[in-house]
Structure 1
């Protein structure tokens, strides 16, 4: 059997990081078993689905690097297939027309609640032996309802949560086609998973309540049941379900904030799954180690500080040229021209051990491409008359250096400090403040070497 998994988001907004975690686990399971990973867009919610959201999903999947083998498939392009299956179910008696009006359903619910009963459809239009059905009203377009079993239980061995059993008495005859003929979510999902031969349905545990309904539809169609794995929810640092209103939940947010996709995936992998004490790992290692049996059924808590730490580790491990491509975009957004000045990849090499995000790296890289004005506090503390005079002497000596590289500058700075009879901070801090506009930089000799003799002397003379 070829393992086949799927990621099936609804295009009703940006790609949620909870969805990315689901996609990651589905993708990894398929890759681990040399299987097939399918992308399916569940776009039957016509009121909320938008082309922009579809594109956001595709762009998000591309950014995080989760490649799919088949798709994207769109449910709206499969309407003929759904209608054909519904027709077969009507013919076989697995489904039936229901002519209840909205008002009848509201009255039914109110009466049940008044009696202290759980509100549910009372199956008044369900055909039964010896039952006489009402005459269909001419002014009501019927829905199609699934003939759910009345007795017994629905049971499955969830790959994450263990054995789950739901009594059929808890389930009503759900609507599988609306009055206008469009099929509903729970029905479309089953037909899609059946047609696409999905072997493992890996999704969030907010779908647990849908699963018994879908299993009954699978059985009614005579389809092979997939295995189900319901992943725990991701909570924020307050222990609440991640909310689009409160939390940064879109992959776009993390791209704009300067996170690397591999860092985000590394972090999401650790939410609900673990491999010993390993925190930092590559996507290839994750695939090698991943097993559904190691996924915890308990909710995970999102920790931004841990994500920042992981992002810093991945920045340190990344190729400088790749970092430079993204940092250049952040600098361009700040109006910084990097076409003149030192090679940006070399700048990233110098800064990558000091940056938690690429935005931080871009902020630090700015002084290589334009002189920054130090704050009043820095001027008062490090650029008094005595400091300015000392920097003038420093510039005179620096102009005569035979070489302009880090070893030469390192030795020159040491000799100059000794000759001035002061401690290193009394030279290094004013030097940073005057040339770079800040006192927080990497080793000053490395920065001056990369900035170049002409630019350093120009800024010292300003």
Structure 2
């Protein structure tokens, strides 16, 4: 082990959502990668709720964040921390910056700022604060207006560039001349987003910031604040946008669903992790992998540079592969939860029912549709009854019913009773199996008839056959 390895800092990542709307898959992918990197590197994953937007932040949105992450198994090692509970700390650091000359009061009113922007735009210049109140040696500042509470602005460096090696986008350089002096505290003293983020990342010892590329424009400002505070910035990785199926940026406004809705619709956490991982990262051509494989393979070097497009059909396919691969005993509680939501209590048969039907299903909700038939009444369609339960087959149905009433209730015995009935009445399997399925299961298509009937209670089968 080299000296450099010995002093390599422990990896610490964070997910810092704003609870201003329900978290969707595009957001949660920004939690998955920092979580996975921390796990893959033996580090720590921190959850921070950026709730300083008091007008738009809601507890309901916080609950969906916590529920969604818990469901997906993205458990933080620390947090959730809430920015609103850290105001005293921000104000302390603000005072330190001001004392060191990195922050100054600005008395320019909103009306004056608007007029400045209009003049700049008319002259085809980039609208920006012009430094009117920035103190410089020998500069005469305007007289302080009476009764006006100033904002505090960060004194951005003049000249030079802010540069970083982004783990997704490569080398990025921004000239300091393109950045104006950022407002870092409002007139009431409340600190602003870019400042709070830097203080949080310093205090929480964040080593890697993995977030959406909508934050790229904030990064040079944040790096300059880090440096003013005497701290080295973290490593940055800015993830490309997740697009919806229409090719637009995924957002709540464009109909993106809360993450928890996928749970309710019967998706599996490991399948969601698998699918989301592939929305911007790859390991060769591997499409289906376990959580353990993902964590073994994950690194920041194979993050994609182009926007990924969400595809619900692909998600359903990935979910179906995971569902088929699951042990029946592990699947049964998830299907039981779906049944409970419908007011149906399952029993010990459920794991075997899952095993019999899971190959036909792509969600636990679809599997619950099959399982429900074993616990609730069925109502075959009039079309299926007319097509399959004909006068010609009723004698065979009566004969099968008589045999099923007295045999051992096992798959082999049921199979033998079906064969005897077919031979007696000179029928082929579909001629008898279809009407039996329609009466007992409410549909003409099911897995093996003897296995399906064996999972039913005998009396229920006899009652449904009698209904013919």
**Superposed displacement of residue 96, structure 1:** 0.5
> C-alpha separation between the residues in 1 aligned to 2:360 and 2:51?
44
Find out whether 1:410 has 2:418 as its counterpart: no
Number of equivalences: 459
SS of residue in 1 equivalent to 2:394: helix
Listed one character per residue, the Cα deviations across residues 221-265 of structure 1 (whole Å, up to 9, x for unaligned) are 111211000111111222211122333332112011111111111
The residue that corresponds to 2:264 in the other structure is 256
* More displaced 10-residue stretch of structure 1: 258-267 or 440-449: 440-449
The residue that corresponds to 1:47 in the other structure is 55
**Superposed displacement of residue 67, structure 1:** 1.3
Find out whether 1:437 has 2:445 as its counterpart: no
SS of residue in 2 equivalent to 1:413: helix
The residue that corresponds to 1:230 in the other structure is 238
SS of residue in 2 equivalent to 1:352: helix
**Superposed displacement of residue 381, structure 1:** 0.5
The residue that corresponds to 2:382 in the other structure is 376
SS of residue in 2 equivalent to 1:157: strand
Pairing partner for 1:246 from 241, 247, 254: 254
**Superposed displacement of residue 108, structure 1:** 0.8
Q: How does 1:83-98 map to 2 (within 5 A)?
A: 83-98=91-106
Listed one character per residue, the Cα deviations across residues 285-309 of structure 1 (whole Å, up to 9, x for unaligned) are 1010011000111100111111101
> C-alpha separation between the residues in 2 aligned to 1:22 and 1:378?
48
Pairing partner for 1:106 from 102, 105, 114: 114
The residue that corresponds to 1:125 in the other structure is 133
> C-alpha separation between the residues in 2 aligned to 1:254 and 1:242?
15
> C-alpha separation between the residues in 2 aligned to 1:70 and 1:291?
22
**Superposed displacement of residue 413, structure 1:** 1.8
Listed one character per residue, the Cα deviations across residues 58-91 of structure 1 (whole Å, up to 9, x for unaligned) are 1111111011111111111111111111111111
Asked whether the equivalents of residues 268 and 319 of structure 2 are also in contact (C-alpha less than 8 Å), the reply is yes
The residue that corresponds to 1:290 in the other structure is 298
> C-alpha separation between the residues in 2 aligned to 1:398 and 1:239?
57
Q: Return 5+ residue gaps in structure 2 as ranges.
A: 1-8
> C-alpha separation between the residues in 2 aligned to 1:72 and 1:131?
46
> C-alpha separation between the residues in 1 aligned to 2:368 and 2:58?
34
Find out whether 1:74 has 2:79 as its counterpart: no
The verdict on how the C-alpha distance between 1:427 and 1:245 changes in structure 2, with shifts beyond 3 A counting, is farther
Q: How does 1:179-198 map to 2 (within 5 A)?
A: 179-198=187-206
> C-alpha separation between the residues in 2 aligned to 1:287 and 1:257?
26
SS of residue in 1 equivalent to 2:283: coil
Asked whether the equivalents of residues 396 and 421 of structure 2 are also in contact (C-alpha less than 8 Å), the reply is no
Q: How does 1:14-413 map to 2 (within 5 A)?
A: 14-338=22-346, 343-401=349-407, 403-413=408-418
* More displaced 10-residue stretch of structure 1: 417-426 or 27-36: 417-426
SS of residue in 2 equivalent to 1:296: coil
> C-alpha separation between the residues in 2 aligned to 1:242 and 1:206?
12
Superposition TM-score, scaled by structure 2 size: 0.95
> C-alpha separation between the residues in 2 aligned to 1:244 and 1:319?
35
Give the root-mean-square deviation of aligned CA atoms.
Answer: 1.4
**Superposed displacement of residue 337, structure 1:** 4.1
Asked whether the equivalents of residues 399 and 421 of structure 2 are also in contact (C-alpha less than 8 Å), the reply is no
**Superposed displacement of residue 311, structure 1:** 0.7
Q: Return 5+ residue gaps in structure 1 as ranges.
A: none
